[in-house]
Amino acid sequence: MRSIASLVAIATTALIAGSVSAQTLTGTLQKAKETKKIVIGFQEASVPFSYLDGNQKPVGYTLDICSKIVDAIRKEISEPDLQIEYTPVTSANRIPLLLNGTIDMNCASATNNLERQKQVDFVNTHFLTANRFVSKKSNNLNSIEDLKGKTVVSVAGSVNLNQINRINNERGFGMTVASAKDQLEAFLMLETDRAQAYVMDDVQLAVQAARSKDPGAYVISKDAFGKPEPYGIIIRKNDKPLKDLADKATAALYRSPEIDTIYKKWFQSPVPPNNVNFNYPLDPALAAAFKNPSDSADPDHYALKN
Partner 1 sequence: MNYNWNWGIFLEPSPDGQGTYLDTLLLGLRWTLATALSAWVLALSLGIVVGILRTLPSRPLQAIGTVYVELFRNIPLLVQLFCWYFVLPEVLPKTAGAWLKQLPNASFFTAVVAIGFYMSVRVAEQLRSGINALPRGQKNAGLALGLTTAQTYRYVLLPVAFRIILPPLTSEFLNTIKNSSVALTIGLVELTARAYAIQEQSFQFFEAFAAATVVYLIVNLCVTLGMRLLEKKIAIPGYISGK
Which window, 59-67, 235-243, 246-254, 264-272, contacts partner 1 (CB under 8 A)? 235-243
Question: In terms of CB distance, is 79 or 185 closer to partner 1?
Answer: 185
- CA gap 234, 123 in Å, rounded: 7
The b/e string for 84-116 (b: 16+ C-beta within 10 A; e otherwise) is bebeebebeebbebbeeeebbbbbbbbbbbeeb
Question: In terms of CB distance, is 96 or 215 closer to partner 1?
Answer: 96
Distance in Å, CB of 239 to partner 1, minimum: 9
Regarding 47 and contact with partner 1 (CB under 8 A), the answer is no
Which window, 116-124, 129-137, 197-205, 216-224, contacts partner 1 (CB under 8 A)? 116-124
Regarding 236 and contact with partner 1 (CB under 8 A), the answer is yes
- CA gap 278, 201 in Å, rounded: 14
Regarding 238 and contact with partner 1 (CB under 8 A), the answer is yes
Question: In terms of CB distance, is 101 or 281 closer to partner 1?
Answer: 101
CB 120 within 8 A of CB 242: no
Question: In terms of CB distance, is 176 or 279 closer to partner 1?
Answer: 176
Which window, 71-79, 156-164, 242-250, 274-282, contacts partner 1 (CB under 8 A)? 156-164
* Dihedral angle sign, alpha carbons of residues 238, 240, 243, 246: negative
Give, as ranges, the residues between 194 and 213 that touch partner 1 (CB under 8 A). 194
Which window, 55-63, 153-161, 208-216, 286-294, contacts partner 1 (CB under 8 A)? 153-161
Q: How many CA atoms lie within 13 A of 8 on its CB side?
A: 3
* Dihedral angle sign, alpha carbons of residues 62, 68, 71, 76: negative
Beta strands in 43-181 (DSSP E): 45-46, 50-52, 58-59, 83-88, 105-111, 120-122, 127-129, 131-136, 151-155, 176-180
**Which DSSP letter does residue 32 get?**
H
Regarding 298 and contact with partner 1 (CB under 8 A), the answer is no
Distance in Å, CB of 58 to partner 1, minimum: 22
* 23, 24, 87, 151: residue in contact with partner 1 (rule CB under 8 A): 151
Regarding 179 and contact with partner 1 (CB under 8 A), the answer is yes
Q: Is 106 left (phi over 0), alpha (psi -120 to 50) or beta?
A: beta
Give, as ranges, the residues between 79 and 98 that touch partner 1 (CB under 8 A). 91-92, 95-96
Regarding 176 and contact with partner 1 (CB under 8 A), the answer is yes
CB 175 within 8 A of CB 149: yes
Termini Cα distance of the chain: 50
Q: Which residues bind partner 1 (CB under 8 A)?
A: 91-92, 95-96, 99-101, 115-116, 118-120, 151, 153, 156-159, 161-162, 165-166, 169-170, 176, 178-181, 185, 188-189, 192-194, 236-238
